[in-house]
């Protein structure tokens, strides 16, 4: 469990960025990082799992020659070893044993289509320094949390927890309509509504581009569009279940 934080279209000082990032210290006790450039901030709290060295520290830049893409990532890509080999065959180089590098190279190669290749759970932010836009994504079922809020003058902030982005808000007040109406809270987790007014939940199975033109969210995965085809015989069904479980 790591923590991610990001702000676009709004300059904030390093002290405020540190305050936001350290509000999720419990999510990543093994390291922290803040990257800032021209009104963009990315922050990270690290729980080291795959690569315990500084090679896996974030925010992470790639490729090494230019550092065009900068990543803040929470989650795990289970098939990153296979993807890394595929990308190596295309000429990509890697310096760590982290799946974070693979996410960056995958986005560089396939842009948003890289999401179809990932087997895992994630929420991540990738800033493109050349095109000055932020790529945002959350896994198919929303295992990893991600929240966002529209700030004044076109700024947009993202965080793994609501309290990470509240220091950037002019006013923090409860969404009373949500918490006082039982009928609206039944499917609370499947909506964009949050208990703090103005903060929205980034939808599962979705990606977005955020920048000077605001934010545009698109859904890239829906369970109803991806049904599993079952074999006709019971014996084949048992074998398919055994294979999936393994």
The confidence band for 127, taking pLDDT boundaries of 50, 70 and 90, is: very high
Judge whether 64 and 93 are in contact, CB under 8 Å.
yes
Query: Residue 229 is encoded by which pair of tokens?
Result: 């085809």
Please, which residues bridge with residue 201 across strands?
A: 147
The confidence band for 133, taking pLDDT boundaries of 50, 70 and 90, is: very high
- Beta sheet of 3-8, edge-to-edge order: 31-37, 40-46, 3-8, 156-159, 147-150, 199-201
Of 142, 184, 179, residue with least CA distance to 160 = 142
The confidence band for 185, taking pLDDT boundaries of 50, 70 and 90, is: low
81 vs 178 pLDDT, higher one: 81
Residue 80: its pLDDT value, please? 96
Residue 55: its pLDDT value, please? 76
Catalytic residue (one of 2, 20, 114, 194): 2
Please, which residues bridge with residue 206 across strands?
A: 219
Given a cut of 70, is residue 186 above it in pLDDT?
no
Alpha carbon distance 135, 127 (integer Å): 6
Judged by DSSP in three states, 132 sits in coil
Q: With 0.75 as the threshold, say if the pTM is over it.
A: yes
Q: What integer is the mean pLDDT of 223-242?
A: 91
Given a cut of 90, is residue 53 above it in pLDDT?
no
- Told to judge if 194 belongs to the known catalytic residues of this protein, a careful annotator would answer no
Judge whether 200 and 190 are in contact, CB under 8 Å.
no
Alpha carbon distance 112, 107 (integer Å): 7
Q: What integer is the mean pLDDT of 132-157?
A: 96
Residue 52: its pLDDT value, please? 67
Of 40, 82, 83, residue with least CA distance to 61 = 40
Q: What integer is the mean pLDDT of 159-180?
A: 92
């Amino acid at each position: 469990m790591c923590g991610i934080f990001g702000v676009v279209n709004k300059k904030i000082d390093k002290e405020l960025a540190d305050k936001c990032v350290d509000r999720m210290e419990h999510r990543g006790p093994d390291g922290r990082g803040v990257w800032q450039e021209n009104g963009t901030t990315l922050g990270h709290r690290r729980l080291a799992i795959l690569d315990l060295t500084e090679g896996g520290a974030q925010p992470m830049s790639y490729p090494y020659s230019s550092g065009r893409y900068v990543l803040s990532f929470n989650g795990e890509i289970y098939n990153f070893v296979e993807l890394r080999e595929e990308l190596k065959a295309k000429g990509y180089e890697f310096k760590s044993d982290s799946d974070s590098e693979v996410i960056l190279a995958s986005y560089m190669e396939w842009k948003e289509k890289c999401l179809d290749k990932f087997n895992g759970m994630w929420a991540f932010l990738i800033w493109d320094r050349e095109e000055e836009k932020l790529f945002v994504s959350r896994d198919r079922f929303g295992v990893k949390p991600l929240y966002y809020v529209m700030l004044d003058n076109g700024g947009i902030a993202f965080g793994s927890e609501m309290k990470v982005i509240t220091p950037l808000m002019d006013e923090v007040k409860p969404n009373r309509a949500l918490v006082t109406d039982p009928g609206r809270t039944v499917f609370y987790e499947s909506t964009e509504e949050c208990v703090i007014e103005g903060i929205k939940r980034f939808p599962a199975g979705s990606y977005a581009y955020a920048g000077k033109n605001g934010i545009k969210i698109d859904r890239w995965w829906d369970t109803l569009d991806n049904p599993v085809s079952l074999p006709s015989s019971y014996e084949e069904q048992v074998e398919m279940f055994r294979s999936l479980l393994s």
